[in-house]
Chain A
Amino acid sequence: MSESRRTYDKAAYEAHLVELENKSVYLLREAYANFKELCMLWSIGKDSTVMLWLARKAFYGHVPFPLVHVDTHYKIPEMIEYRDRLAREWRIDMIYGENKAALDAKETFPDGRLSHIECCRKLKTEALTHTLAGDWPRYRMNHDTGRYEVDSNTEPYTGVIVGVRADEEGSRSKERYFSPRDKNNDWGVGDQPPEFWGQYKTDFAPGTHVRIHPLLDWTELDIWEYIRRESIPVVSLYFDQGSGRRYRSLGCAPCTTPVESTAKNLDDIIEELRTGKFSNIAERSGREQDKEDGGGLEELRKDGYM
């Protein structure tokens, strides 16, 4: 490890966080101003939660669009509890979608019928595509009863805010802030729109939609530093609760393994990322779908995976 990694200029880092925050707020406001059918994909993880917080920054405590969560029904139970608690406390317009047919037919990896990638494709990509398009049921939280009900709005979303970060993996480092998807949800990686001077792709043909990526320039460390700075509540699964293990990245229970770590609070996590054992190990190393050789995630992403 090089010497430089250990030094850390607090003031410069704070300025860096402020810069990231300003940029993200700008992007969220551009999204809100330009897309009538706008939603935010919400995975419950730390990135999604920072993004939600940034929306509350941008709109001064409000979240003027729905959050959409793709429920694979294999999420760790605490994640769903956390989702619904936050929705109630912050009065979030919370929606979830699912691939009911695949789940009913047990066409999943945990049921032994599909590979990791195929399972992701069914439970995430397909469910996401149809939930966004509005041709599969959307379940929306009714704040009077605290329960989910089938949403009567079936309009396709034309603007979808997603919390991907460029540092996560190769193909994400080539993403745009405003990234168009065609009718089949495809991502044309080789031919992306130009973006400069704070002007983005906000005009789109009927039937297509645009993904908006306000967190593109953030790193995993930035996310945790910001969570600490703003005291943002996150799922307890990220912390070691005494077993010597914790989750670094959250996903479906069968496919996400906790890492060996005794980080019990935000300070510990940040220390671990800055100088400790994770300072040069990629975050998604615990995720199965990334391991299949060169371009596995790129392929999934081309089809609309986040």
Chain B
Amino acid sequence: MNIVIVGHVDHGKSTVIGRLLADTDSLPQGKLEQVREMCRRNSKPFEYAFLLDALKDERSQGITIDAARCFFKTAKRDYLIIDAPGHIEFLKNMITGASRAEAALLVIDANEGVRENSRRHGYMLKMLGIKQVAVLVNKMDLADYSEEVFKSIEAEYRGFLEEIGIRAKSFIPVSAMQGDNIAAQSSDMTWYKGRTVLEELDAFDEKESEADSLPFRMPVQDVYRFTGSGDDRRIIAGTVESGRLKIGDECVFYPSGKHTHVATFEHFGAGETPTEIKTDMAAGFTMTEQIYIRRGEICCLSGEKTPKVGTSFVASLFWLGISPMVKEKNYLLKIGAAKVPCQLKEIISTLDASTLDRGKKDKIDRHDVAECIIECSKPIAFDLTSEMPKTSRFVLVDEYEISGGGIITAEVEKTGISDVARDLAMRRNEKWETSSIPSELRAKRFGQRPGIVIITGHRYIGKKAMAKELERELWDAGRQVYFLGIGNLLYGVAGEIKVEGEIPDRYEHIRRLGEVANIMMDSGMLLLVTCAEFTANDMEVLEATVDTEHIHTVWLGDKVTTDVVPDLAISDASDRDATAVRIKSFMAERGLIFI
């Protein structure tokens, strides 16, 4: 079991652990003597904390800088004890340590009483989702082992914890230095009848298994296919966050909404191949219908509660970055295995976690906690922290550093231009009838992969003639190719929408074009489409409808005059043959046609 020990700087966390290790005979032979000897040589008083504080700077400054882990066992079980630093400067190290724990010991100095990091650390435990907390009131030797001192600290801190929604399991008066109530009952505090720290550890509950009964969630870490080594399995790999999944179950992936069934679970090494996977398993399975999905989606079980899908959400977050979090700056959001660019849209309120004082600022400073709205540039699948805490957690990356963490508390109403298209695409995927002929087989027979090549550029540059010539050349070379003229669509599939309408009409045309393309591409076709002055917004709507890897854009003309970023730009398109050659080699490079 993993236990973290937290609390304000110098309140005696490392000493508690050092004492615990020493009193239970858990130290490697000679370690205690070695540390005593080192202290003697450097004329420093011996500290139990030096058993943990192994870094040179830690010993010279007498503080813990980074969380140390140590291994320890009782008759009941094995423990990994994580000694967190108390200094505010090292809050990120405290969080690193605490996030690995299932339960926490929070230390308060009897002499100093409740201090700001006693409270801040309590709040962080709450945000990190650690529910089991025992509080140690330490240095009782300095407070004459007084019951009153202990009781008043207990009353104050219990009140604080209740305010943030944590119920402490117990309060224990201890002296780490003297060893009172650590591994053995104290003879100086006969008024205390509760457990020692050692007993309290054994009284913590094992990991809650409630995650098994929640809906199934497995972030897709990767899709493996080691064909190069003669292995044809396509394996969806990931670690289960919650729930269970069995062979034959139908699973749905979000945000795409694509679905398939579990064919087999995979396994290597000793033991049996599982027939069911559940919480915390690092698993892998093959599918009955081969669908195209990628790292970042989350695998769910059909029929269970679905995750939310969207680009915006309300979150409660803590910031660790040296530079504050600000609006209109790009950050990366990592949730499950997904990683998408995002921005801070709105700060609803900020909170000083050491006082619980609320405020309103236009930036989130280091060590602040804030209620805010985050907007991502692509949709993500997530849950709400009140329903499924694990899949509601995300981190934020600023430049190259993880600089904040948050939990999603609510959805935000959808208003973006592509939100409708995306929701429809997800519903369509949920119902999509997967062809019994795998796309690989079609690709093999046709010598091509399906795709949509958008030929765009200035008006009157001859895009259509170009596309038609390309269609002919590809056909002559044996390809299954079709020039999809927009007119074929405008008056039929989109017959009820104005042809020269408002902007929303244009987006709906593009969405329908995308949906028609999806059907044709599922049959293995290569599509050529022309469109004058294709924009980034057009692209956004198309990408909400068609898998991005199927879309390829070619710009004809000397300057790109819209905000779209084409995959290929041909500035001089006057020579049609040369242009056709370039587009064909571009298609070969992108793996659309095999030579």
Query: Measuring CB to CB, which residues of chain A are less than 8 angstroms from any residue of chain B?
Result: 1-5, 7, 9, 12-13, 16, 19, 21-23, 25-26, 29-30, 32-33, 53, 56-62, 64, 91, 166-167, 169-171, 173-174, 176, 189-190, 192-201, 203-205, 217, 219, 229-231, 280-282, 293-295, 298
Contacts and interface: CB of A to CB of B under 8 A. Distances in A.
A53 B270 CA distance: 11
Interface of B: 24-31, 38, 54-57, 59, 65-71, 73-75, 77-78, 80, 92-93, 95-96, 98-100, 128, 221-222, 224, 226, 229, 231, 233, 235, 237-239, 266-270, 280-282, 284, 295, 320, 332, 334, 337, 393-395, 397, 399-402, 405
A56 B402 contact: no
Given A58-B282, A173-B68, A196-B96, A294 B266 contact: no
Contacts of A199: 334, 394-395, 402, 405
B270 A229 contact: yes
Nearest to B235: A60
Nearest to B337: A33
Contact of A201 (B66, B93, B394, B401): B401
A173 B26 CA distance: 16
B367 to A, nearest CB: 12
27 contacts: A2-B24, A9-B77, A33-B222, A53-B269, A56-B268, A56-B269, A57-B269, A60-B224, A60-B231, A60-B266, A60-B268, A61-B231, A64-B226, A166-B69, A170-B68, A189-B55, A190-B65, A193-B92, A194-B92, A194-B320, A196-B128, A201-B400, A203-B332, A203-B400, A230-B270, A282-B31, A295-B56
B400 A22 contact: no
Contacts of A5: 73
B226 A62 contact: yes
Q: Which of A195, A200, A230 has the most CB of B within 10 A?
A: A195
Given A19-B280, A205-B400, A59 B226 contact: yes
A197 B392 CA distance: 10
A92 B132 CA distance: 45
Nearest to B334: A199
A62 B229 contact: yes
Contacts of B235: 60
B438 to A, nearest CB: 20
Q: Which of A3, A61, A171, A173 has the most CB of B within 10 A?
A: A173
Contacts of A58: 237, 282
Contacts of B269: 53, 56-57, 230
A202 B405 CA distance: 15
Contacts of A62: 224, 226, 229, 231
B284 A60 contact: yes
Given A197-B393, A203-B397, A59 B224 contact: yes
A111 to B, nearest CB: 31
A196 B54 CA distance: 22
Contacts of B29: 280-282
A23 B393 CA distance: 18
A293 B397 contact: no
Contacts of A33: 221-222, 295, 337
